[in-house]
Amino acid sequence: MSAHALVIAPNWIGEAVMAQPLLALLRQRDPGLRIDALCVSRTAPVFAAMPEVGRVLPAPERAGGLPRLAARLRLGWTLRAHNYRRAYLLAGSSGSMLPALAAGIPERIGHAGDAHRLLLNRTHEAPASGALPLLERYARLAFEPGEPLPGKVPAPRLMRRPDRERAVRAQFGLAEGGPLILLCPGAEHGTARRWPTRHFATLASLLCDEWPEADIVVLGSAAERATATEIAALSGQPVRNLVGQTGVDEALALVSQAAGVVSGDSGMMHLAAAFGRPQVAVFGATDPRRAPPLSPRAHVEWLHLQCSPCFGHDCAFGHADCLAHIAPTTVFESLSKAMRFEPAGTRPIH
């Protein structure tokens, strides 16, 4: 009888993408292993796109106190029927492993931390913050604590769903078979991580001139709606604003078929890389050496000024030169190379 494992998924899209190589390593070490993923709604479509995942199970959404505790205990009782032998903890919130404990899963694997230590029985030491890329941190859970990784961790890869891609194109009235170029201006953690709106607008105009047959689409969450409206207006071009109109599932279907993607350091960046799409990732306050888009078709634009990376939410000097001085023409040229599958060799990451 094959073993059955449960992955308790992280709650953010970029982190979810970084988990896929762990699943590939688990399957490589045990080809008969069946893997299910326990996910919040935000990351469920990402895990559904992983070939190693059998079932995606809904995790309790954000709530506080006794209601959330009760929901986790009830979930644990329902999980007993699946007879999981192992649970891998990737979520960072306190109590995320509680359903696995309530389900009686005998082997509970994760990194040591104040919130989880008593719930784990195969514990990996937690590296210092930023000392180990998240990709490798997750991948180490496939091995015994203290055991070194046997080689380079594979890059994340997600499966395309052509039927879903066509359906989403039709849903939003996008030309079937035509080029689709996505602009993703969102940044979860402040203005110091967001390329200026005016630069996105200029880029949209350049793209429309170069590829008049393409659908230029602004994509993101409802929080970026005003930004996307401004991009479309300033560009003076027929840019499609789908910000706030797509769920994660529709966003995946658009990203997976894109001819080009431009984003900041965001979950969209990692999705584009995992689907192997031509892309440009614009970095400002964060460091592409720590969590770059892992794809041969990804180009990174980063000035690495003296004050960057600062990892701040807002620029301490008020100018955000690390982003403002990355010109739209530079990103346009970089995306053109990525779309022609030319390597990024002119501006290396130091």
Predicted pLDDT at 63: 54
| DSSP character string of 283-350 | -SSS-TTTS---STTEEEE----TT-----SS-TTSS-HHHHTS-HHHHHHHHHHHHTT----SS---
Mean pLDDT of 187-206: 86
Banded model confidence at residue 194, pLDDT cuts 50, 70, 90: confident
Predicted pLDDT at 73: 87
- Alpha helix (H) ranges present in the chain? 13-29, 44-48, 65-79, 98-102, 134-139, 162-171, 197-210, 225-235, 248-255, 267-274, 321-324, 328-339
- Number of C-alpha atoms within 13 angstroms, CB side, residue 188? 9
Q: Which amino acid is at 198?
A: R
| Contact between 168 and 254 (Cβ < 8 Å) | yes
Q: Which structural domains are found in the chain, ordered by start? A: 4-142 (3.40.50.2000), 162-339 (3.40.50.2000)
The highest-confidence range among 58-62, 297-301, 321-325, by mean pLDDT, is 297-301
Mean pLDDT of 142-167: 93
- pLDDT at 191 > cutoff 80: no
Predicted pLDDT at 94: 66
Mean pLDDT of 227-237: 94
Percent of the chain residues past pLDDT 90, beyond the cut = 67
52-66, 215-229, 253-267: range with lowest mean pLDDT: 52-66
Residues 6+ apart with CB under 8 A from 162: none
Residue 1: count other Cβ atoms within 10 Å of its Cβ: 6
8 forms beta bridges with 38, 89
Banded model confidence at residue 62, pLDDT cuts 50, 70, 90: low
Name the token pair of 146: 């203290």
**Residue 21, SS3?**
helix
Percent of the chain residues past pLDDT 70, beyond the cut = 91
For residues 141 and 133, give the distance between their C-alpha atoms in angstroms, rounded to a whole number. Answer: 13
Mean pLDDT of 58-84: 81
What is this structure's pTM? 0.92
- pLDDT at 345 > cutoff 60: no
Name the token pair of 172: 């939003």
Quote the DSSP letter at residue 179. -
Between 348 and 337, the higher pLDDT residue: 337
Mean pLDDT of 48-55: 97
Predicted pLDDT at 309: 85
Q: Taking the C-alpha atoms of 22, 27, 28 and 31 in order, what is their torsion angle to the nearest 10 degrees?
A: 170
Banded model confidence at residue 150, pLDDT cuts 50, 70, 90: confident
Sheet with 279-282, side-by-side order of all strands: 240-241, 215-218, 180-184, 260-263, 279-282, 298-301
Predicted pLDDT at 67: 67
| Contact between 294 and 273 (Cβ < 8 Å) | yes
Across the chain, mean pLDDT equals 89
Predicted pLDDT at 348: 33
Banded model confidence at residue 65, pLDDT cuts 50, 70, 90: low
Between 125 and 156, the higher pLDDT residue: 156
Between 178 and 255, the higher pLDDT residue: 255
Banded model confidence at residue 60, pLDDT cuts 50, 70, 90: confident
